[in-house]
Amino acid sequence: MATLRRIVFVCALIVCVLLAAVFAYGNPQPIDVDLGFAKLEGVSMAAAFAVAFGCGWLFGLLSAGLALLRNAGEKRRLRKDLRYLETELSALRSAPANNAD
């Protein structure tokens, strides 16, 4: 199963590289990119697209990583609470019952 996953990943990577090459070949003209705080002149469209795509991917990776860290902390807290409640429950079960007759 892992080898099939690797083969699919490598094929997808090759397809992405080929698509980027076709895009770069089809758009050879340089463009001006205004970032708001700087203006870059004479940047190839393919490079600008690749940088924008990479920045978006990194932002998504960072967002997902922060969400996973938050979930891991919540899971740790819930396990701690569960252990505490289990010990409290076992202590209550082992305590003698009060029979007030």
What is the tally of structural domains in the chain?
A: 1
| 38 occurs within a structural domain | yes
CA distance 52 to 36: 14
96 Rama class: left (phi>0) / alpha (psi -120 to 50) / beta: beta
Question: Given this model, what pLDDT does residue 11 score?
Answer: 95
Question: Given this model, what pLDDT does residue 55 score?
Answer: 93
| 99 occurs within a structural domain | no
CA distance 42 to 20: 19
| 69 occurs within a structural domain | yes
Evaluate if pTM is beyond 0.75. Answer: no
Q: For residue 70, what are the domain limits? A: 2-89
Question: Given this model, what pLDDT does residue 23 score?
Answer: 85
| 54 occurs within a structural domain | yes
| 98 occurs within a structural domain | no
| 100 occurs within a structural domain | no
Q: What are phi and psi of 28, to 5 degrees?
A: -80, -15
Q: Are 21 and 28 in contact (CB under 8 A)?
A: no
